[in-house]
Structure 1
Amino acid sequence: MIHIVFQTSDVHVLQQAMALDPELTGDILQIYDDLAVGPLQGLDAPKGDASGGWQARRDWWKTVLELTPYNFDEAKGMSDDQMTIHRLKQTLDDNPAEEVWVWMAQNAHDVCGYFWLVNRLRDYQGRVQVLYLNNLPFINEKGAIFYPVYLFEIQPSEFRKAKKLARLITPSEFEIDPDEWARLCMENAGVRVLEGGKKITSHDYDYYDKNLLAALTTQWQKVHRVIGNTLGKMKVKTGDAYLFWRLRELIAAGTLQLNGDLAKGWNAVEVKLPGGPVTTEEGATAEAPAPAPQPPAP
């Protein structure tokens, strides 16, 4: 049995589940790239013609990860994803009795990864199981019922229940789901959001800007705190590195003001909305008025 997951935390919780339930024992492969964000153009090209698309995607990720605590050389596991699938196919070819279990929870990261993966496993119909934790209840560590958005939110002991969800990917899914991947590549949007089931919609790169702006005021705030507060309130989540990149884009556009040197990282800089508190004659504070519109230059 070969398990495939899409997030590093999923690997850890699945390893813990295996220690509790030997029936789950098997190799765990991770698909690293978060295909819910970033360019996809060219990734669906015929074999041998997709290298340009992957290079453009790597270059974009390098820009996103710049100035974050994440080292690009360490975080570029996406470059290993192609080799991971190549080796997986070799294993399946060499071991006809081997089967694959694809785990995904109700988030765009997992579902987009699934679409990319199923497009590459068409030749192994009947040997690929999917476990989609779609709107299914589990018990959390406090004994309450909850609906996990991510696989790693499930307690290891609950995987005994989760494994019962395994089912073969149907022939119709092997036909339809790769078409969904082709659609996403053609749309080549910046952000992909899960609307429910396996329905993914495409949005512009600025999709999460409204969440960041809602966390900001005209008072200075540390960037890492803004990102943490934003992630804590977001219903549809993305990665912290992506949010930091969007903050940098908003700063470059003049939408936000910066205090500090970005080269020192997000722990060393502050951001805020333009303007700030001013003291009135009564000593109270009030928002600084927005600048009056200027007539266009002649």
Structure 2
Amino acid sequence: MIHIVFQEADIEVLKKAQELDESLAGDVRIVRDDFAVGPIQNIYETEGYQARRDYWKTQIDYSPYNTEDLMHMVDDRLMVHNLKRSLDEDAKEEAWIWMGQNQHDVCGYYWLISQLKDYQGRISVLYLNNLPFINDKGQIFYPNSLHQILPKEFLKAKKLSRKVTLSEFEVDPDEWQKLMDENGAIRILEGGKKIVSKEADFYDKDILAGLTKEAQKGNRALQSILSKMKIKTGDVTLLNRMKVLAEEGLIELTGEPSKGWKEFDVKLKSATPTETEITTEANIQ
């Protein structure tokens, strides 16, 4: 059995679950790209693939992360190639796709499933869609990501496994094609597997709500923003939107983000006097 996840943190918790349940034994592989942001038009073609790599290079260059290391690490096309090879070499091999209720996982699922139609009957999906689990305090909660579940709770989660239907192999690639044609800057999950395209400024309100008039180090500012966000995205995406907001004069960003999360400060732009305020002040004088 081959397990496929979409977030790095999912790997560790799934491997711990495998130690508790031999029936979950199998190779764990990951789709690393976040298909919920950035260009996806013609993504399976050379031109579209290159446009997406160019997008990420620009985004990562502005961040503290090492661009070369990350760009080398994210090679999901190779992962799919190796997955197909494993399925071709062993007719009994199957793949389980583990998907949390968030746009990152669901977009990754759409990107992946559109390439696996030839393996219908051997691909299963486990979607944590509005399902209750028990957390480490013994309380019921509804996880939106796989890694939020305790390893022992995977014994319950595995019961959700079901084959991807022939109908889904028809409908889901069509839905992904629609999203590729829209080529929105941002994609969010509205419920079920419904993904909706949004404009590039979708997260700006969250950034502005998380900042104050007092300067904060980048790491602290991002922690504040992410803690308040209902729909979350990656730190690189937020940082690059901060850059745009600074260019638009809505926030102040000083320092060099590419050198580290603590190497820049960010705050709300100090309010400038309006024309009315200036006129009123002049009349008073």
Q: TM-score range by the shorter chain?
A: over 0.9
Q: 1:25 to 1:271 in 2, by over 3 A?
A: same
Name 1:92's counterpart in structure 2: 87
Asked whether the 8 Å contact 2:31–2:76 carries over to 1, the reply is yes
CA deviations on 1:76-117 (whole Å, 9 max, x unpaired) are: 267521111111111111100111100001000000011011
Residue of structure 2 in register with 1:161 after alignment: 156
Quick one: distance in 2 between partners of 1:69 and 1:3?
A: 31
Query: How far did residue 70 of structure 1 move?
Result: 1.9
Q: Report matched runs for 1:37-48 at 5 Å.
A: 37-44=37-44
The answer on 1:19 being equivalent to 2:19 is: yes
Q: Secondary structure at the match of 1:243?
A: helix
Q: Distance in 2 between matches of 1:219 and 1:9?
A: 33
Return closer, same or farther for 1:92/1:162 CA change in 2, 3 Å cut-off.
same
Tell me the SS of whatever aligns to 1:214: helix
Letter of the aligned partner of 2:212 in structure 1? T
User: Given the alignment, which residue of 226, 231, 244 partners 2:226?
Assistant: 231
Partner of 2:274: 291
The 1:219/1:98 distance shift into structure 2, 3 A limit, reads: same
4+ runs of 1 displaced by more than 4 Å? Answer: none
The structural deviation recorded for 1:174 is 0.4
Query: Which residue does the alignment assign to 1:120?
Result: 115
CA distance in 2, matches of 1:247, 1:264: 16
Distance 1:90 1:12 in 2: 25
In structure 2, the CA distance between the partners of 1:163 and 1:262, relative to structure 1 (3 Å rule), is closer
1:254 CA drift (Å): 1.8
CA distance in 2, matches of 1:289, 1:54: 44
Task: Name the counterpart of 1:189.
Answer: 184
d(CA) in 1 for partners of 2:22, 2:193:
30
Task: Return the alpha-carbon distance in structure 1 between the equivalents of residues 245 and 50 of structure 2.
Answer: 25
Asked if structure 2 preserves the Cα contact closer than 8 Å seen for 1:102 and 1:128, the reply is: yes
Q: Find the residue that maps to 1:205 and give its secondary structure.
A: coil
Distance 1:134 1:261 in 2: 40
What is the CA–CA distance in structure 2 between the aligned matches of 1:122 and 1:237, rounded to whole Å?
A: 30
**1:248–1:160 distance in 2 versus 1, CA, 3 Å:** same
| CA distance in structure 1 between the aligned counterparts of 2:149 and 2:88, rounded to whole angstroms | 33
1:136 — aligned with what? Answer: 131
Equivalent position of 1:47 in the other structure: none
Q: What amino acid does structure 2 have at the position aligned with 1:39?
A: P
Where is the helix percentage greater, Structure 1 or Structure 2?
2
The 3-state SS of whatever aligns with 1:10 is helix
CA offsets, 1:219-272, max 9 Å, x none?
212222111111011110001111111111111222211233444333121122
**Residue equivalent to 2:201:** 206
TM-score of the pair, normalised by structure 2: 0.93
Are the counterparts in 2 of residues 138 and 147 from structure 1 also a CA contact under 8 Å? yes
* SS of equivalent to 1:141: coil
Identity %: 53
Aligned equivalent of 2:9: 9
Distance 2:272 2:57 in 1: 39
Residues 217 and 265 in structure 2, CA contact (< 8 A), matched pair in contact too: yes
Q: Identify which range, 33-42 or 60-69, moves more after superposition.
A: 60-69
What SS does structure 2 have at the residue aligned with 1:149? Answer: coil
Q: Which amino acid aligns with 1:257?
A: E
Tell me the C-alpha RMSD between the 2 structures.
1.6
Give 1:281's aligned residue: none
Matched to 1:273, the amino acid is L
Asked if residue 65 in structure 1 is aligned to residue 60 in structure 2, the reply is yes
Asked whether the 8 Å contact 2:63–2:257 carries over to 1, the reply is no
Distance 1:78 1:191 in 2: 23
How many residues are matched?
A: 277
One-letter code aligned to 1:271: V
How far does the alpha carbon of each residue in 1:1-41 deviate from its partner, in whole angstroms, 9 at most, with x for none? Answer: 00000111111110111011111000111001000001111
- Contact 1:33–1:77 (CA under 8 A) maintained in structure 2: no
1:101 is the counterpart of 2:84: no
Q: Match of 2:153, SS? A: helix
Q: Partner letter of residue 3 of structure 2?
A: H
Letter in 1 for 2:15: Q
Task: Report the CA distance shift for 1:261/1:7 in structure 2 as closer, same or farther (over 3 A).
Answer: closer
Output the TM-score relative to the length of structure 1: 0.89
Shift of residue 180, structure 1, vs aligned partner: 0.9
